[in-house]
Amino acid sequence: MERKMEVPRDYMYGKICMITGASSGIGKITALELAKLGATVVIVCRDRNRGEAARSEIQSTSGNQSVELLLADLSEQRAIRQLAQDFLQRYQQLHVLVNNAGVALNKRIITEDGLEKTFAVNYLAYFLLTHLLLDVLKASTPARIVNVSSNSQAFGSIHFDDLQGEKHYSIARAYCQSKLAVVYFTYELPRRLDGTGVTVNCLHPGQVATNMNYSVTGLFGLLGRVVRPFALDPERGARTSIYLASSPEVEDVTGKYFVKCKQARSSRISYDEFVSQRLWKMSEELTKLNECMQ
């Protein structure tokens, strides 16, 4: 049973929240519900038309006009850097960052940075954007980072000898690896943020009925379509994201994995600190983090 979420009436007023991948699905619902709670909401979308439509719907449904659209293709690191710059030119605070954007791709696609796109969007974008916004998050404490993972992490491995799927690519292998990487990131980052007042948690939203179910082919896509009639609607799928972004109950909780608004255990291998530190180092190199932070 899911925990009933209760947020005090004025708890989110004056707080600034950014949600990536917010043009549809659980990202849009998360943005809508945070707007209903009175937060200033910045939605990040790739397509301007879909983004404007989402912003208009969120404003009209929530009655909150403090909803802004920022555009970025999160598969491109230069676009992520520009997104962070655009945000920082407009805002001096950020209280909640929800890394939600994700893809599942039938074939191996290489980004302009030379990276496999699933890994780039589902994980490296979270890693890079979070780091670019860390200073403003620290200046806004208490602040929260919410990373959307998946129970697919339990079937993943970090293929250090083939992170980009050059030797072998399958949609399931790439997707599960990226979602496991999000969990490693969620567990490693709090160790580096200890004492800052910034919390980091991740979640499995449940099996959610989204457009992704229709765009994926092969066995992975077939399984998605088979379970779709029994899947959660985006409103229910977004509940844990909203809970982690806004509930006073988890204001001081960090470095945890959540399912149905409750702490849960992720896969056994996800707690391996040696792997998380090795992945961190490789992520710094792949995002040229030290260069872009200068």
* Catalytic residue annotation: 175
Closest listed residue to residue 279, CA positions, set 191, 182, 190: 182
Could you give the 3-state DSSP secondary structure of residue 105? coil
213 contacts 225 by C-beta, under 8 angstroms: yes
Q: Is residue 51 packed enough to be buried (19+ CB in 10 Å), middle (13-18) or exposed (0-12)?
A: buried
Could you give the 3-state DSSP secondary structure of residue 104? coil
36 contacts 62 by C-beta, under 8 angstroms: yes
Q: Is residue 110 packed enough to be buried (19+ CB in 10 Å), middle (13-18) or exposed (0-12)?
A: middle
Burial code (b: 16+ CB inside 10 Å, e: under 16) for 89-104 equals: eebeebbbbbbbbbbb
Residue 229: asked if its preceding bond is cis (omega within 30°), the reply is: no
Q: What's the CA gap between 162 and 112, in Å, rounded?
A: 18
Could you give the 3-state DSSP secondary structure of residue 150? coil
Closest listed residue to residue 146, CA positions, set 4, 289, 20, 293: 20
Q: What's the CA gap between 150 and 126, in Å, rounded?
A: 14
